[in-house]
């Protein structure tokens, strides 16, 4: 993924608010301005919360990508197994055509039984 190392907007804005809040606190402390210091604390906490929200969004996106990749890999493996099975059956029928006819007749008979019992 090309954007794997890029922060989402919530993480970026949260980090900026966090840093801005710390700066406000420092200025408030240096100047003895308690309201500015308190406002800085609020911005710092809000920034941390927004950053955590952004991290959660990224984690969910990454998990969804992983599940999607896993499903795609599983589908491809299953497809290969089915194709290999079809080739094996085709090879066996080619080598033993009478057995193939008997098996096809038996399968047809069983399907007929199942269908007739459902009515």
pLDDT in tens, 23-71: 999 999 999 999 999 999 999 999 999 999 999 999 999 999 999 999 9
The reply to whether 3 falls in a domain is no
Contact, 24 vs 36, CB < 8 A? yes
Q: Which domain holds residue 27?
A: 9-118
> Which burial class, exposed, middle or buried, applies to 8 when counting CB atoms under 10 A from its CB (0-12, 13-18, 19+)?
middle
The reply to whether 4 falls in a domain is no
The reply to whether 2 falls in a domain is no
What is the number of domains present in the chain?
Answer: 1
The reply to whether 1 falls in a domain is no
What's the pTM value of the predicted model, to 2 decimals? Answer: 0.57
DSSP class per residue in 23-88? HHHHHHHHHT-HHHHHHHHHHHHHHHHHHHHHHHHHHHHHHHHHHHHHHHHHHHHHHHHHHHHHHH
Give the rounded percent of residues in the chain with a pLDDT score beyond 90: 73
């Amino acid at each position: 993924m090309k954007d794997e190392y890029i922060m989402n907007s919530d993480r970026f804005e949260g980090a900026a608010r966090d840093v801005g809040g710390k700066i406000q606190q420092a200025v408030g402390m240096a100047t003895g301005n308690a309201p500015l210091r308190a406002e800085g604390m609020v911005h710092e906490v809000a920034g941390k919360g927004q950053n955590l929200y952004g991290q959660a969004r990224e984690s969910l996106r990454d998990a969804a990508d992983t599940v999607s990749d896993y499903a795609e890999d599983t589908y491809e493996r299953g497809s290969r197994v089915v194709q290999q099975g079809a080739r094996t059956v085709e090879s066996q029928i080619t080598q033993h055509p009478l057995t193939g006819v008997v098996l096809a007749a038996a399968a047809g008979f069983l399907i007929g039984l199942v269908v007739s019992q459902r009515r």
